[in-house]
Amino acid sequence: MREEISAGRMLFRSGSHLRACLLPRVVFALVSSMLLTSTAAFAQDTQEKNELAVGVGRTFISDQRVPNTNFFDNTVHSGKGFSLNFLYARQLRFFKWADSSVGIEVPVIYNPDEDLNLGLNVIPKQYSSVFLTPAVRVSFVRNFFVSPWVSLGGGVGYFSSSEDAVFFGPYTGHRIKVTGVMHGGVGFDVPLPGKLHSLKFRFEARDNWSGVPPINVDTGRTRQHNYYVGGGVVMRF
85 and 26 share one domain: no
pTM: 0.78
19 and 112 share one domain: no
The H-or-E segment that residue 215 falls in is none
38 and 131 share one domain: no
Which domain covers residue 18, as residue numbers? 1-47
Q: pLDDT tens digits, residue range 43-89?
A: 444 458 999 999 999 999 999 999 999 899 999 999 999 999 999 99
**Amino acid at the residue 29:** A
64 and 92 share one domain: yes
Question: Distance between CA 50 and CA 167 in Å, rounded?
Answer: 47
Question: Distance between CA 130 and CA 88 in Å, rounded?
Answer: 16
37 and 113 share one domain: no
193 and 99 share one domain: yes
The alpha carbon dihedral of 132, 135, 140, 142 has a sign of positive
Contact predicate 57/231, CB 8 Å: yes
215 and 157 share one domain: yes
Q: pLDDT tens digits, residue range 91-140?
A: 999 988 878 999 999 999 999 999 999 999 999 999 999 999 999 999 99
Say yes or no to pLDDT of 15 above 90: no
131 and 173 share one domain: yes
